[in-house]
């Protein structure tokens, strides 16, 4: 079915030089560039996915924006979480319609947008930001996209705690996430999903120490690297530049009870040794010991 542009819709203009402009269509408005003018009224009620022309005859491809387009081209004052990371975060936090999720560090609203698109309808995003001017920009960005329901905006220091309890997932995009893990535990439901992004390895180490000390389980540290290829069939090869390091992603779960076997790796090994001692069974040999055993048995 052909998608028809409506008043209030965001649209993406892509020029022959691949330069991109993201706009929201409004009756009576016009977009002015050095290539000419395009009237919004000439697009409203017309199909997307076609070429339009300025009054000077300059062509633009007009398209429906994707979530990745929104994240990349929204107005921003802060470093964004890249689409490659945002999409993976949505999956790792198990975000889907009906889920309640907290985000700390609203920034320009790119991740807020990704979360809202994942959990609506029926779900809710609670986003926290200390700087009122940053959250004001994020709210304007989400309004431009057309998402105004299902988001609660808090201008607050999360050291004071989160106002919500029993949420399904929580993500921290703040400088010192390890400082707020008690607040995280108070807000997440048992079994809930936790995630954070930090740019440096020493921050990862501090967060890991905090997660282990607070009893989080199934902790993982990951990094995503995205390589684009030149789309030329006769000489396909990687682009000269790639989206490499943008941040380290840390994920964990909240659980109750005897969590030893699912906690920190070193604690898991201690728990395995204790269990072996209690059961009177010899501990599992380590890698080098297994190699020695195989050599003694002739391979």
pLDDT tens, 29-50? 999 999 999 999 999 999 999 9
142: tokens are 């989400």
Domain co-membership, 142 together with 227: yes
Quick one: which of 156, 123, 153 has its CA closest to 141? 153
Residue 288 resides in a domain: yes
In this prediction the pTM is 0.83
**What pLDDT sits at residue 294?**
57
What mean pLDDT value characterizes the chain? 89
Domain co-membership, 21 together with 109: no
**What pLDDT sits at residue 1?**
79
Domain co-membership, 19 together with 88: no
**What pLDDT sits at residue 277?**
72
Domain co-membership, 14 together with 162: no
133: tokens are 């001017």
What does 251-267 look like in DSSP terms, one character per residue? Answer: EEE---S--GGGS-HHH
Residue 234 resides in a domain: yes
**CA 194/CA 196 separation, integer angstroms:** 7
Residue 276 sits in which domain range?
270-296
* Strands, sheet with 10-14, edge to edge from the N-terminal-most edge strand: 20-24, 10-14, 59-63, 50-53
Domain co-membership, 72 together with 151: yes
**What pLDDT sits at residue 246?**
87
95: tokens are 């975000």
Low-confidence ranges of the chain (pLDDT < 50): 289, 299
Give, for 219, the enclosing helix (H) or strand (E). Answer: strand 217-222
**What pLDDT sits at residue 295?**
53
**What pLDDT sits at residue 274?**
67
**CA 80/CA 112 separation, integer angstroms:** 11
**What pLDDT sits at residue 179?**
97
Q: How many C-beta neighbours within 10 Å does residue 76 have?
A: 17
Question: Which residue reads 């028809």 in tokens?
Answer: 4
How many separate domains does the chain show? 3
**Cis preceding linkage at 9, omega within 30:** no
**What pLDDT sits at residue 74?**
86
**CA 17/CA 62 separation, integer angstroms:** 14
Residue 1 resides in a domain: no
Domain co-membership, 232 together with 117: yes
């Amino acid at each position: 079915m052909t998608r028809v542009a409506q008043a209030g819709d965001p649209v993406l203009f892509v020029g022959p030089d691949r330069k991109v402009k993201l706009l929201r269509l409004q009756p009576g408005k016009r977009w002015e560039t050095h290539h000419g003018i395009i009237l919004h009224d000439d697009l409203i009620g017309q199909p997307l996915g076609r070429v339009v022309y300025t009054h000077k005859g300059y062509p633009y491809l007009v398209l429906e924006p994707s979530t990745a387009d929104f994240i990349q081209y929204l107005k921003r004052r802060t470093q964004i979480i890249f689409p490659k990371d945002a999409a993976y975060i949505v999956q790792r936090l198990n975000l889907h319609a009906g889920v309640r999720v907290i985000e700390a560090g609203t920034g320009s609203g790119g991740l807020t947008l990704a979360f809202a698109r994942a959990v609506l309808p029926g779900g809710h995003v609670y986003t926290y930001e200390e700087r009122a001017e940053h959250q004001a920009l994020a709210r304007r960005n989400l309004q431009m996209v057309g998402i105004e329901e299902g988001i609660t905006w808090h201008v607050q220091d999360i050291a004071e705690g989160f106002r919500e309890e029993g949420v399904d997932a929580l993500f921290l995009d703040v400088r010192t996430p390890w400082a707020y893990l008690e607040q995280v535990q108070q807000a997440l439901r048992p079994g809930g999903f936790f995630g954070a992004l930090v740019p440096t390895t020493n921050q990862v180490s501090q967060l890991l120490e905090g997660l282990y000390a607070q009893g989080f389980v199934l902790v993982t540290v990951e990094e995503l690297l995205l390589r684009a290829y030149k789309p030329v069939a006769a000489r396909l090869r990687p682009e000269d530049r790639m989206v490499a390091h943008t941040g380290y992603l840390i994920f964990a779960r909240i659980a109750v009870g005897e969590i030893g076997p699912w906690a920190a790796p070193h604690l898991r090994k201690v728990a395995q040794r204790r269990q072996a001692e209690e059961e009177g069974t010899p501990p599992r040999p380590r890698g080098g010991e297994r190699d020695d055993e195989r050599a003694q048995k002739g391979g």
